């Protein structure tokens, strides 16, 4: 596996574009197997003093405001997902990534999972299902595990489950054997430059599949179903649906596979909400493609625990149960959270404005029984103008939002932090914001 990837890189003038977690992972692999080649590290920041590269005389650095100006000098650019090239003409550049390099040598054993929301939960659920069935499987990707970090664990019969973001899919020219797309909503428009580009990036999951590959998708998502119908994809279509017949579908509280009863949808599970039931039936569809044992699969589904920062209960403080849901970075995710959690009395929301549409979000909030809306910059302040004034509180910081929440939330009810926006304006990411919320709210919970 590793040898095949290294062979692709032989004899090329290589640049590593972006030197965060994935860029460092790329550098580490290259230096481990090819310590003798020249490399260029390109990043907006000066990375020459990073401990990882100190003493490496065969590496040069390009940085500063013009760091993207001379990409045409390189035979191959191994790009990190977080770098946006939306304002550049990249048609003449040879751009690859950890994801594409893996797909080039092992696509027949890759199960790719994407979607605007739900992809981490579904990826980990598929991984756990395969494990429960005794399948040799590894997991990596957008949830924070660089693909190159798990190469040593991949053998000839290993399945590789990968969460794929739009950033990772954007420049690939090869698709996985089993592709999963959960949904399409507006997101990451600051990176791709527009909703059409964002949707097209997601559809790379299916674009290069063959007639022997599988397309798993939720046909009740209007945007996704429209993209499927408009495209001439060649993979075997395996739609799932929560309201009408498909290959796997929900009807009268039961899940059916090819019109045959599969399992009771009311089985005891740890995942809350209808959206998570959809994630479950998607994972079940993948299990059927692989011919796995239903009993072992359902046991894995029932034992699966929610991922941190997504509808995560952090306990009861002074009679109020608090949930952290900072993975909800679009309005649809917050709407799903509100539908999934009973007795919400206070909602804290708002974050970075990335130009996505909030049409209908305020109207939805007004029609809920939530008494207290704690609105934070930037999006929260804008949406607050459309909400009833007697239910709105403005908070400039998370500290202030938590103080208000503790003051106003009724006992024996729920307070949830579900931003419906990205956290980047004040925090490094959703995890840092979620951890700060836990720190501010819970103190010590026994």
CA atoms within 13 A on the CB side of 268: 1
Strand partners for 315: 322
Plot region of 353 (φ>0 → left; ψ -120 to 50 → alpha; else → beta): beta
CB 342, CB 326: distance < 8 Å: no
Sheet holding 344-349, edge to edge: 312-317, 320-324, 413-417, 344-349, 372-375, 392-394
DSSP string, 112-141: EEE-SSSHHHHHHHHHHHHHHTT--EEEEE
CA dist list (Å): 13 to 73, 94, 102: 8, 11, 20
Contact 418, 337 (CB under 8 A): yes
Give the Å distances, CA to CA, from 182 to 214, 221, 255, 351: 14, 8, 17, 24
CATH topology for 312-442?
3.90.190
Q: Residue 129 is encoded by which pair of tokens? A: 């299902």
Beta carbons within 10 angstroms of residue 104's beta carbon: 15
Please identify, in words, the CATH class of the domain defined by 99-303. alpha beta
Per CATH, domain 2-96 is 3.40.50.720: yes
Note the pLDDT of residue 193. 53
Four-point Cα dihedral 72, 78, 81, 86, nearest 10: 10
Whether the domain at 99-303 and the domain at 312-442 fall into the same CATH topology: no
The answer to whether 445 and 316 have CB atoms below 8 angstroms apart is: yes
Q: Measured between alpha carbons, how far is 179 from 156 in angstroms, rounded to an integer?
A: 20
Q: Is the peptide bond before 378 cis (omega within 30 degrees of 0)?
A: yes
> Is residue 71 within 8 Å of residue 77, measured between CB atoms?
yes
Output the pLDDT for position 336.
85
pTM of the model: 0.79
Report the greatest alpha carbon distance in the chain.
67
Name the residue ranges covered by the structural domains of the chain.
Answer: 2-96, 99-303, 312-442
**CA–CA gap between residue 344 and residue 341 (Å, rounded):** 7
**Cα torsion 286, 301, 203, 136: sign:** negative
pLDDT tens digits in sequence order for the chain, 446 residues long? 899 999 999 899 999 999 998 999 999 999 999 999 999 999 999 999 999 999 999 999 999 999 999 999 999 999 999 898 988 999 999 999 999 999 999 999 999 999 998 898 999 999 999 999 999 999 998 877 899 999 999 999 999 999 999 999 999 999 999 999 999 987 555 545 578 889 999 999 999 999 999 999 999 999 999 999 999 999 999 999 998 999 999 999 999 999 999 999 989 998 888 889 999 999 999 999 999 999 999 999 999 987 788 888 999 999 999 999 998 888 988 998 998 898 999 999 999 988 878 989 999 999 999 999 999 999 999 999 999 999 999 999 999 999 999 999 999 999 999 999 988 778 888 889 999 999 999 864 33
Q: How far is CA 252 from CA 242, 248, 256, 345, in A?
A: 10, 14, 10, 30
Residue-level pLDDT at 446: 35
Query: Which conformational region is residue 156 in: left (phi greater than 0), alpha (psi within -120 to 50 degrees), or beta?
Result: alpha
- Rounded Cα–Cα distance for residues 183 and 305 (Å): 22
**Whether the Cβ atoms of residue 302 and residue 267 lie closer than 8 Å to each other:** yes
H or E stretch at 217: strand 214-218
> How far is residue 227's CA from residue 231's CA, in Å, rounded to a whole number?
6
């Amino acid at each position: 596996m590793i040898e095949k990837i290294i062979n692709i890189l032989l004899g090329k003038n290589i640049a590593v574009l972006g030197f965060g977690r994935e860029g460092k992972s790329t550098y580490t692999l290259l230096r481990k197997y090819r310590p003798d080649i020249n490399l260029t590290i390109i990043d907006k920041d000066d990375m020459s003093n990073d401990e990882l590269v100190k003493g490496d005389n065969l590496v040069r650095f390009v940085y500063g405001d013009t760091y993207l100006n001379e990409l045409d000098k390189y035979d191959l650019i191994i790009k990190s997902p977080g770098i946006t090239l939306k304002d550049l003409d990249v048609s003449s550049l040879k751009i690859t990534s950890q994801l594409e390099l893996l797909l080039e040598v092992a696509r027949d054993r890759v199960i790719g999972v994407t979607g605007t929301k739900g992809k981490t939960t579904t990826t980990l659920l598929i991984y756990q299902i395969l494990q429960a069935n005794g399948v040799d499987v590894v997991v990596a990707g957008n949830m924070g595990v660089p693909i190159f970090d798990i190469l040593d664990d991949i053998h000839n019969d290993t399945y590789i489950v990968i969460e794929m973001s739009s950033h990772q899919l954007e420049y690939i020219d090869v698709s996985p054997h089993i592709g999963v797309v959960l949904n399409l909503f507006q997101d990451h428009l600051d990176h791709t430059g527009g909703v059409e580009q964002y949707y097209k990036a997601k559809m790379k999951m299916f674009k290069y599949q063959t007639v022997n590959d599988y397309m798993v998708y939720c046909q009740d998502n209007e945007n996704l179903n429209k993209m499927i119908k408009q495209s001439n994809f060649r993979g075997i279509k395996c739609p799932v649906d929560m309201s009408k017949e498909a290959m796997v579908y929900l009807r009268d509280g039961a899940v059916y596979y090819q019109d045959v009863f599969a399992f009771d949808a009311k089985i005891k599970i740890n995942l809350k909400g209808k959206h998570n039931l959809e994630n479950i039936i998607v994972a079940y569809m993948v299990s059927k493609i692989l011919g796995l044992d239903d009993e072992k699969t359902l046991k894995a589904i029932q034992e699966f625990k929610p991922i941190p920062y997504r509808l995560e209960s952090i306990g009861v403080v002074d009679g109020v149960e608090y949930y952290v849901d900072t993975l909800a970075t679009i309005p649809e995710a917050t709407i799903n959270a509100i539908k999934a959690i009973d007795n919400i009395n206070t909602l804290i929301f708002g974050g970075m404005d990335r130009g996505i549409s909030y049409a209908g979000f305020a109207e939805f909030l007004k029609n809920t029984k939530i008494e207290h809306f704690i609105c934070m910059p930037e999006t929260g302040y804008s949406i607050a103008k459309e909400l009833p004034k007697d239910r709105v509180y403005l908070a400039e910081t998370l500290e202030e939002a938590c103080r208000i929440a503790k003051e106003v939330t009724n006992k024996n009810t729920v307070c949830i932090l579900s931003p419906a926006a990205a956290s980047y304006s004040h925090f490094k990411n959703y995890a840092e914001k979620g951890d700060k919320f836990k720190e501010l709210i819970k103190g010590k919970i026994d």
